[in-house]
Amino acid sequence: MPTLIVTLPASLPTPTTPCSTVLTQDGQTVMLQTEAPLSLWPDLTNGEIVAIVPATLLSWHRLDLPKGTLERGFFQDGSPSRLRSVIDGLIEDRLLDDTEQLHFAIQPNAQAGTPTWVAACNRAWLNAWLSALDQAGKAVARIVPEVEPAATGAEAANTLHITGTPDSAHLLWSTAAGVNVLLLSGTSVALVSGRTESSTPPDVVAEPAVAALAEQYFTGRVVLQTGPQRALVSAGSAWDLAQFELLRSRRARTQKRLSNWGASLLRAPQWKPARWAAAALVVVNLAGLQAWAWKEQSALSAKRNAIRDVLISTFPDVRVVVDAPLQMERSLATLQRQNGSTSSVDMEEMLGRFQAVAPEITAPTAIEFIAGELRLKLPATDGIDIAGVSARMQPYGYLVHMQGDSLVLKQERRP
């Protein structure tokens, strides 16, 4: 997926403010690097934008958060603003600015009981840039720091980044104790050397423009790293500074990005083969369903014709077939009566079956039989298990139910 990495300038956004952008396809290789205002940024289709906050605009603070503040229920009960209030109370003595003017973000995968890194930057500046990007239709997916504190025990736990120009070079010192941003000078180099003289010598990574200057101050090998390469490294950070009050805007940006992706899927030329394939798949499935329905209808029609043939061949007197099962049932009952035998719709057969399966029911006070329906008027209906009687009569093809003080028994119609 293509990714556009944007390093936000320290100034407030204007239509002509240039931004350093890096376009990458795999997160490892620079495809295009530009220095241009928003309107001239490279086109990005089905990708994401990652914003980098420069190291000079971030401060880092390590806090011991109270027990329970990092639990999920803490956010559910009091919302993220509750954690924000806790951080405000812990950090306000360490800052020169009012906490209301700052945006905070806690480290990813923070764990209770251990010191937690909190990054701070100017809220108005960050909101201004995010608003400008949203208005330009360039929603930001993630916000990452240019340099972050090194993990404790990491191999590169003591790294120096030399950036800028020979006239204005900065030293970014990233260790497990935090990130320091200093002007490159003899004093800052002496400070760094004094802090690291008893430990492993720091790795020095310099931009080409200040590589010669870095070699003058530091002995040993200086590793060259261009600005776009450092942007790729920064974009791979696990940090996302879009927290607290930026959570809602981050969701909105995500929804907008998904909407743009959906619109691109419907109209973009590169998705045309996929659209044709989806349409063909729908047509094939509809054709398959129609063929299956036609086959089922043919099978059902064949079964109906077979039943009709059985009826006509068994009972030649039937001339018109309307409901073959019902006509066959009636013809069979008529034939049984003509031969002197009872059928399932005769009163004697129904009474015999009922007495056999429900001997516990007392004798009825009245019996009524009309058109294959038997009604037994009972002296008392209390304690009669109608559901049990119905279940025992069902295998013989009868339905049983109560209607007032009468028990109704009739043959079940089956398709």
pLDDT at 78: 41
CA angle 326, 332, 338 (to 5 degrees): 140
Tokens of 223: 């590793």
Instruction: State the pTM of this model.
Output: 0.59
Is 232 within a domain? no
Q: Which of 107-121, 258-272, 356-370 has the highest mean pLDDT?
A: 107-121
Distance separating alpha carbons of residues 87 and 69, to the nearest angstrom: 10
- Number of structural domains found in the chain: 4
Is 231 within a domain? no
Is 367 within a domain? yes
Evaluate if residue 344 carries a pLDDT over 70: no
pLDDT at 155: 46
The CATH number that applies at residue 160 is: 3.30.420
Tell me: do 27 and 136 sit in the same domain. Answer: yes
Tell me: do 131 and 13 sit in the same domain. Answer: yes
Tell me: do 373 and 321 sit in the same domain. Answer: no
The CATH number that applies at residue 370 is: 3.30.1360
Is 55 within a domain? yes
Per-residue model confidence as pLDDT tens digits over 56-77: 899 999 988 887 777 654 443 4
Tell me: do 143 and 256 sit in the same domain. Answer: yes
Distance separating alpha carbons of residues 283 and 376, to the nearest angstrom: 60
Is 213 within a domain? yes
Tell me: do 391 and 316 sit in the same domain. Answer: no
DSSP type of residue 344: T
The CATH number that applies at residue 242 is: 3.30.420.380
Per-residue model confidence as pLDDT tens digits over 137-181: 888 888 999 999 887 654 445 678 899 888 888 888 888 888 888
pLDDT at 273: 83
Is 402 within a domain? yes
Per-residue model confidence as pLDDT tens digits over 370-391: 877 888 888 777 777 788 888 8
Is 188 within a domain? yes
Tell me: do 89 and 183 sit in the same domain. Answer: no
Distance separating alpha carbons of residues 110 and 104, to the nearest angstrom: 14
pLDDT at 54: 93
Beta strands in 18-107 (DSSP E): 19-24, 30-36, 48-53, 59-63, 102-106
Tell me: do 134 and 68 sit in the same domain. Answer: yes
Tell me: do 128 and 15 sit in the same domain. Answer: yes
Tell me: do 68 and 115 sit in the same domain. Answer: yes
Q: What is the mean pLDDT of residues 119-145?
A: 90
Listed residues 291, 319, 341: the one ending a domain? 341
Tell me: do 26 and 118 sit in the same domain. Answer: yes
- Give residue 363's domain range: 343-411
Tell me: do 68 and 208 sit in the same domain. Answer: no
Half-sphere exposure of 296 (CA within 13 A, CB side): 6
Tell me: do 43 and 125 sit in the same domain. Answer: yes
Per-residue model confidence as pLDDT tens digits over 169-215: 888 888 888 888 888 888 888 887 776 654 556 678 899 999 888 88
Is 93 within a domain? yes
